[in-house]
């Protein structure tokens, strides 16, 4: 009877939506075997939102400039099929990559409109980071037990840096909230932050290092608290020093510094050369089309230092190749709108609310603006931090209108 009563309560189903959204976001990054769980999470969240009028909470947000620019960006990528080198491949890729954007918006915007559900969603995102750390740690244990020499191949763990960067700001938020309440859990979250930073360093991905520094910079700009700053600085110094002294490839990467003349620099050269031949409209949205065009030209381009098709290694170059400078303009306009909305929200929000706004923005800035400049990161979760920023920006506008 108790179970039946619980299932009949609206709050039970409301609280299930952020859980399913977190399941979906988590499964985006996990390499194999959870596609069905990803679809199930999104499907349940959408189905619940379509019931009981919850979807109406999303309607006011649909006029926001971020969502309009996002729509234009997606439509342009699909529209490149009109002049693509392979129209069917472009349409298939665009649908595969962007179809979830329109499915996830109703449940995500409904959750963001409810303060309690928003808190649950951000907490679940922090839990996602914990699960990623457990899985990555389990991989290290397996390598030690099977062949310790595998530990030298840091690329085996590079993929884990993607979800760690995306979910890291939400761990940072939980630590901040616990520290503000002087809760004992603040030490748990501080330990989680330390472990996440250590694992990101251990991937050897310098773009990931820059991304995590970006997240930290966003956080420190909110309120310069000497105590918190010294805590984070001491944490980063200890983790970085231990990594530098104990992990050989970290020393190698530090000495390499900002030099990108090797693999990444070579790939960028090829991408720019191909973009310059069709600069306005591009070749059509598809990684397969990019690799095919790269291989077709390879023999005639002896100055390309990378001799195999591994993609453009930059989201900006990927879009410039796919949709030309027009497509890149849509992307940069979208990013600029997100940054402006974030700044506008901070001017209106109360001090305690600013960290809630900063968490999704830091995920967006670290994962897409910074790391997306050095690697072709997945487009799938872009809509999540952008939708969060849409909510906070809309609330800021509403508060400003009432004040006037």
Per-residue pLDDT tens digits for 278-292: 999 999 999 999 999
Answer whether 197's CB lies under 8 Å from 182's CB: no
Answer whether 61's CB lies under 8 Å from 394's CB: yes
What is the pLDDT, as a whole number, of residue 246? 58
Residue 209 has pLDDT above 70, yes or no: yes
- Report the range of poorest mean pLDDT among 192-206, 222-236, 360-374: 222-236
Read out DSSP for 127-150?
A: HHHHHHHHHHHHHHHHHHHH-GGG
What is the pLDDT, as a whole number, of residue 82? 94
Residues 6 or more apart whose Cβ sits within 8 Å of residue 106: 46, 49, 50, 54, 55, 58
What is the pLDDT, as a whole number, of residue 347? 82
Percent above pLDDT 90 for the chain: 50
Of residues 153 and 312, more confidently modeled:
312
Residue 151 has pLDDT above 80, yes or no: no
pLDDT bucket at 404, cuts 50 / 70 / 90: low
pLDDT bucket at 244, cuts 50 / 70 / 90: low
Residue whose C-alpha is closest to residue 176's, from 214, 110, 232, 132: 232
Burial of 261 by CB count in 10 Å (0-12 exposed, 13-18 middle, 19+ buried)? exposed
Q: What is the mean pLDDT of residues 8-13?
A: 77
Residue 41 Cα distances to 30, 166, 236, 315, 384, angstroms: 14, 19, 35, 27, 14
Answer whether 76's CB lies under 8 Å from 326's CB: yes
Of residues 399 and 166, more confidently modeled:
166
At 335-383, the pLDDT tens digits run: 999 999 998 888 887 777 889 999 999 999 999 999 999 888 999 899 9
Question: Which backbone phi and psi does 202 adopt, to 5 degrees?
Answer: -70, -15
Q: What is the mean pLDDT of residues 287-313?
A: 87
What is the pLDDT, as a whole number, of residue 403? 65
Residue 258 has pLDDT above 50, yes or no: no
What is the pLDDT, as a whole number, of residue 349? 78
Residue 230 has pLDDT above 70, yes or no: no
Q: What DSSP character marks residue 369?
A: I
At 73-96, the pLDDT tens digits run: 999 999 999 999 999 999 999 999
Q: What is the mean pLDDT of residues 54-74?
A: 91
As a whole number, the mean pLDDT across the chain is 86
What is the pLDDT, as a whole number, of residue 391? 93
Question: Which backbone phi and psi does 184 adopt, to 5 degrees?
Answer: -60, -25
Residue 253 has pLDDT above 60, yes or no: no
Residue 30 has pLDDT above 70, yes or no: yes
pLDDT bucket at 207, cuts 50 / 70 / 90: confident
Q: What DSSP character marks residue 368?
A: I
Q: What is the mean pLDDT of residues 170-174?
A: 95
What is the pLDDT, as a whole number, of residue 4? 63
Q: What is the mean pLDDT of residues 212-222?
A: 87
């Amino acid at each position: 009877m108790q179970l039946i009563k619980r299932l009949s309560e609206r709050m039970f189903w409301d609280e299930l939506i952020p859980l399913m959204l977190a399941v979906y976001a988590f499964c985006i990054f996990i390499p194999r075997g959870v596609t069905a769980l990803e679809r199930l999470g999104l499907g349940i969240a959408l189905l619940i939102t379509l019931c009981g009028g919850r979807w109406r909470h999303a309607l006011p947000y649909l006029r926001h400039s971020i969502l309009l620019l996002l729509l234009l960006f997606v439509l342009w990528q699909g529209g490149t099929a009109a002049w693509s080198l392979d129209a069917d491949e472009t349409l298939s890729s665009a649908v595969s990559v962007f179809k979830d954007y329109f499915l996830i918006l109703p449940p995500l915007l409904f959750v963001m409109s409810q303060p309690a559900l928003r808190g649950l969603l951000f907490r679940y995102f922090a839990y996602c980071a914990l699960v990623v750390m457990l899985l990555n740690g389990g991989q290290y244990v397996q390598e030690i037990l099977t062949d310790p020499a595998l530990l030298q191949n840091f690329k085996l763990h590079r993929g884990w840096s993607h979800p760690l960067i995306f979910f890291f700001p939400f761990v940072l938020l939980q630590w901040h909230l616990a520290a503000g309440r002087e809760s004992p859990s603040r030490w748990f979250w501080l330990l989680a932050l330390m472990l996440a930073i250590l694992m990101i360093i251990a991937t050897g991905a310098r773009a990931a290092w820059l991304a995590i520094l970006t997240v930290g910079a966003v956080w420190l700009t909110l309120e310069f608290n000497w105590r918190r700053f010294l805590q984070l600085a001491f944490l980063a110094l200890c983790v970085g020093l231990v990594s530098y002294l104990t992990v050989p490839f970290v020393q190698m990467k530090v000495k390499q510094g900002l030099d990108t003349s090797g693999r990444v620099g070579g790939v960028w050269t090829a991408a720019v050369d191909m973009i310059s031949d069709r600069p306005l409209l591009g070749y059509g949205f598809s990684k397969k089309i990019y690799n095919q065009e790269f291989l077709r030209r390879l023999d005639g381009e002896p100055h390309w230092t990378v001799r195999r098709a591994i993609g453009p290694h930059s989201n900006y170059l990927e879009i410039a190749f796919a949709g030309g400078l027009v497509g890149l303009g849509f992307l940069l306009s979208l990013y600029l709108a997100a940054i402006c909305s974030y700044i506008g929200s901070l001017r209106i929000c109360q001090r305690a609310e600013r960290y809630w706004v900063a968490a999704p923005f830091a995920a967006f800035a670290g994962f897409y603006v910074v790391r997306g400049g050095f690697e072709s990161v997945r487009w799938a979760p872009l809509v999540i931090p952008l939708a969060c920023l849409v909510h906070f920006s809309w609330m800021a506008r509403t508060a400003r209108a009432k004040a006037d």
